[in-house]
Amino acid sequence: MFLILDALAAGEGRRLSSLDVIGAGPRAIAGVLEMFGLEYKIYRVEDFLRRGARGFRVLLASAMTMDEPAVKRAASRFRGVKIIGGPITSDPSVVPRLGFHLGVWGEGEVALESLLRNGLSEGEIPSELGSIPNLITGDGTLTRASNLSVEDFRRFQPSVTAIRFYRTVPHYRSSRVYVEVVRSCSNFNRPKIRASKEMCDLCMACYEFDLRKRLVCPQGIPPGCGYCSIPALYGPPKSRDRDSIVEEVRGLAEAGVRRIVLSGADFLEYGREKLVSGPLTHPYEPGPNVDAIEELLREIKGLSREYGFFFEVENVKPCLVNDEVAEVLGRYLRGTPIHIGVETGDPEHADLLGRPCGPQESMEAIKRLKEVGLRPYAYFIHSLPGQNDKTVRMTLKYMELAYKHGAEKITVYKFRPLPGTAFEGYNVVVDRGSKMIAEKAIELNRERKRELLGAVIKVIVAPSVGRGNYAYPLAGGPVVRLKVGRKLKTGKVLEVRITKVLSDRLVEGVPVDRRSS
C-alpha cells in the first residue's frame, strides 16, 4: 500500500497558519495511483509523526521548501521506498539530504506514471531511471527537466475520493479545498537586479512580443519575479479542460466539501494559451480569455446552487484586470475574496524584481474589483532584495492606499529566497523598514476587523482545538472563536454575530440562534 504524506506548509511539524487549506497536490498524486488501481492513504505529516503508520511499502511526500524539518523527521521513521515531490525539490540536493531514494522535479505526473509502470506499483524502484523525465536520483542528479504538454496535463484527473482522508486539521468538511484550473504563470520577464544592463539592452526579449524568444535569457536568469519559481518549474501556462474541472468540483461537492477554491498562480491565465500560436510567455498580451473564464464560472456557479457550496478564485495579476473581466468576475463571484499581489510600493523596485506591473496598476485592479462587489486582499513582501528607505516609504504609502481603496486584508510575507529563482542564495536582512511594513499590516488589519463588530455572518465549524470552538467564515474572512458552551460538529453552518476583535487575524462571535448550536 502507498502512503501519501501531505507536508505542505507544515514547517517544523506543526502548521501555524493555513489550518483550513487542503492543497491540490496530494489529490493529484492519488489520481495517478487510482489510474493503476492501487491502494493508498493520505496522512498529514503531523499525524504521521504523532501516531506513525504501518503496512506501507512506498512513501510519496509532497512538501514546500519551508517543510524540510518535518519531512526529514518523517523520512527517518519510514521503512520502505521514499519519494519526495512538490516545490521542495526545486533544489534537487534535498533528496539525499533528507534521506529519500528518489525525488520528482517540477511536474510529477508523467514521472510517477513511468515509475509505476516499471516496478514501483510492486514497491520496487525501477532499475533503469535515465529515461524517466523530471526524476531526481538518490545522489541528487536530475535525469531530464521537462514540462508537461497540454495533452499530458489534461490526461491526468485528480482524485475526489481522496478528500475523505482529511479528517483532522484541516478537515474536508470545513476547509478550503483547492482545485487546480490552470498551471504556471506567463510572466517570462526577468528580474534586473542581477542582470547586466549592457546585455539586457542588446537582448530586449523581456520588452518584446516574440513569445519564443522570451523563453530563453542569454544571461541564464530564471523567468518570472525573482522571488517566485513557478515559471521556471512549470513552463508556460496551460489550462485544464473545463469538463474535467466541473467533474472534479461535482465529485468534491458530493463528498461533502463546502468551500472550493479555483486555484492557479493567476486565475485570469485560464484559457489564455488558446489565444496565441506559440508558448504563452507574455504576462498581459493578449488579455484574458473572457469567454473561457465566463463559461467555467457559469458551470461552477450552477453546481454551487445545486449542492450548496461556496466557491472563490485565488490570485489575479493586476495587469490582466480590465473592465470586461472585472464585470464577469463581479457577476459570478460577488462577495468573495480575491488576491492581488502588490509586493512593493516602488515602481522602479517592482521592475527590478521582474514584476510585469507596478503598484499603481495593483491599486487600479483593487478599485475595479471592489466596485463590482469582490473583496480584494492585497499582498506585500518585506526584506526583498533592493529594499531601501525609499522602497519602504513607498510601500507603507501603498499599503495605506490599498486599505483606502477597499482591500479587506493586507497580507505581508517575509522574503524567502527559493531554490531555482533569480534570488536564490540572497541573504535576507530584516531591518527597521521591514518591521515597519509588518507592523503597518497588523495596524490596518485590526482596523478593518473592527468594521465587523455587530455584523452577522455565516460560518462553518472547524475541528475542535483544545477546549475552544473555532469557525471559518463561509465567504472568507478572519477565523472566528465561537462563544458557546459545548463542542460543535465539524462542518456545521451557523450564523454568528461578531462581538469582539481579538487580534489582526481573529475575532469572537456568538451564535445568533443558540438553538442551532
> Does residue 167 lie in a domain region?
no
> Is the pLDDT at 113 greater than 50, yes or no?
yes
pLDDT band with cut points at 50, 70 and 90 for residue 458: very high
> Is the pLDDT at 16 greater than 80, yes or no?
no
> Does residue 227 lie in a domain region?
yes
SS (H, E, C) 32-45: HHHHCCCCEEEEEH
- For residue 511, give its domain range: 456-516
The pLDDT, as a whole number, for residue 514 is 53
**Looking at the structure, do residues 464 and 494 belong to the same domain, yes or no?**
yes
Mean pLDDT of 217-235: 96
**Looking at the structure, do residues 187 and 130 belong to the same domain, yes or no?**
no
**Looking at the structure, do residues 141 and 236 belong to the same domain, yes or no?**
no
**Looking at the structure, do residues 307 and 322 belong to the same domain, yes or no?**
yes
Neighbour count for residue 92 (Cβ, 10 Å): 19
C-alpha cell at 200: 539586457
**Looking at the structure, do residues 248 and 277 belong to the same domain, yes or no?**
yes
The pLDDT, as a whole number, for residue 100 is 97
Three-state secondary-structure class, residue 494: strand
pLDDT band with cut points at 50, 70 and 90 for residue 371: very high
Beta-sheet pairing, 238-239 with 182-183: antiparallel
The pLDDT, as a whole number, for residue 485 is 78
The pLDDT, as a whole number, for residue 178 is 98
**Looking at the structure, do residues 403 and 310 belong to the same domain, yes or no?**
yes
Average per-residue pLDDT for the chain: 95
Place of cell 511594513: 437
Query: Full-prediction pTM beyond 0.85?
Result: yes
**Looking at the structure, do residues 371 and 490 belong to the same domain, yes or no?**
no
Q: Do residues 479 and 505 make contact, with C-beta atoms less than 8 angstroms apart?
A: yes
> Is the pLDDT at 517 greater than 90, yes or no?
no
β strands within 2-80, DSSP E: 2-6, 21-22, 40-44, 58-62
> Is the pLDDT at 280 greater than 60, yes or no?
yes
β strands within 231-323, DSSP E: 238-239, 259-263, 310-313, 315-316
The pLDDT, as a whole number, for residue 207 is 84
Total number of domains in the chain = 3
User: pLDDT, tens digit, for every residue of 141-157?
Assistant: 999 999 999 999 999 99
C-alpha cell at 52: 506513525
Q: Do residues 171 and 241 make contact, with C-beta atoms less than 8 angstroms apart?
A: no
> Is the pLDDT at 45 greater than 80, yes or no?
yes
Mean pLDDT of 409-434: 96
**Looking at the structure, do residues 96 and 193 belong to the same domain, yes or no?**
no
User: pLDDT, tens digit, for every residue of 77-92?
Assistant: 999 999 999 999 999 9
The pLDDT, as a whole number, for residue 515 is 55
